[in-house]
Chains A and B, each alone.
Chain A
Amino acid sequence: SQELEQSPQSLIVQEGKNLTINCTSSKTLYGLYWYKQKYGEGLIFLMMLQKGGEEKSHEKITAKLDEKKQQSSLHITASQPSHAGIYLCGAEGSGNTPLVFGKGTRLSVIA
């Protein structure tokens, strides 16, 4: 079965700093999703990447998909306290199977 490994597990950054979170798949990626979760709440969709080399941005968050490396990265520029939360990557397996998720990266942003 497909497994997703996220790094780092947790991250503390100073407000205004840039940061990157990585997600590596054990199998070929057919679609990669990034979600954000606030503590004790549900997951909020951020972005979906489907093609190798694809890059998407929303506000100060950019995600890239490296199909050959079976990896995706999420980059936040000039972090703000509102970026704090848990970032999870999710991936489709082959045959249109439901999403599997990584354990998440817990981000804290300090003033």
Chain B
Amino acid sequence: DAMVIQNPRYQVTQFGKPVTLSCSQTLNHNVMYWYQQKSSQAPKLLFHYYDKDFNNEADTPDNFQSRRPNTSFCFLDIRSPGLGDAAMYLCATSRGYEGGNEKLFFGSGTQLSVL
């Protein structure tokens, strides 16, 4: 029944070694989001896709990239992870901007550790 699936649940990478986190959805939603959440902090939006249109937040570092090859999948690439990138990465989906109904469905998250 899982609707938004993130893999892996836990990811350990080395400082500077590229890493990719994945997210898939079975809801056929138009919008997919990536949030970064550090301990005791609010989830921070990194970017989102509305269909194939990519929307980057102004303060998202260039080190973070995203790909959405099709409706179901979205990837987060961290090109050169630093210690400060250790966090929980949350993928979410929504139907789209339909009169403000922006209920988000979240995956279980990927906890990234950088050694």
Interface residues of A (CB under 8 A from B): 4, 30-31, 33, 35, 40-45, 48, 50, 88, 90, 92, 96, 98-104, 106
Interface set of B (CB-CB < 8 Å, partner A): 4, 6, 33, 35, 40-43, 45, 48, 88, 90, 92, 97, 100-109, 111
- Cα–Cα distance between A23 and B87 once the two chains are bound (Å): 24
In the assembled complex, the CB of B39 is this many whole angstroms from the nearest CB of chain A, namely 10
With CB as the reference atom, state the residue of chain B lying closest to A91.
B102
List 29 A-B pairs, Cβ < 8 Å: A31-B102, A33-B102, A35-B106, A40-B111, A41-B108, A41-B109, A42-B90, A42-B107, A42-B109, A43-B43, A43-B104, A43-B106, A45-B103, A48-B101, A48-B103, A88-B42, A90-B104, A92-B100, A96-B100, A96-B102, A98-B45, A98-B48, A99-B45, A100-B42, A100-B45, A101-B42, A103-B41, A104-B40, A106-B40
Knowing A42-B109, A88-B42, the reply to whether A99 touches B100 (Cβ < 8 A) is no
Q: How far is the CA of A77 from the CA of B9 in the complex (A)?
A: 33
A104→B109 contact, CB < 8 A: no
Interchain CB contact under 8 A, A33 and B103: yes
**Please, how many angstroms separate the alpha-carbon atoms of A53 and B111 in the complex?**
38
Q: A42-B107, A44-B106, A96-B100 are in contact. Are A103 and B40 (CB under 8 A)?
A: yes
Report how far A43 CA is from B48 CA in the complex, Å: 17
Chain B contacts for A33, CB-based, 8 A = 102-104
Contact B106 A98 (CB under 8 A): no
What residues on A are CB-neighbors of B106 within 8 Å? 35, 42-44
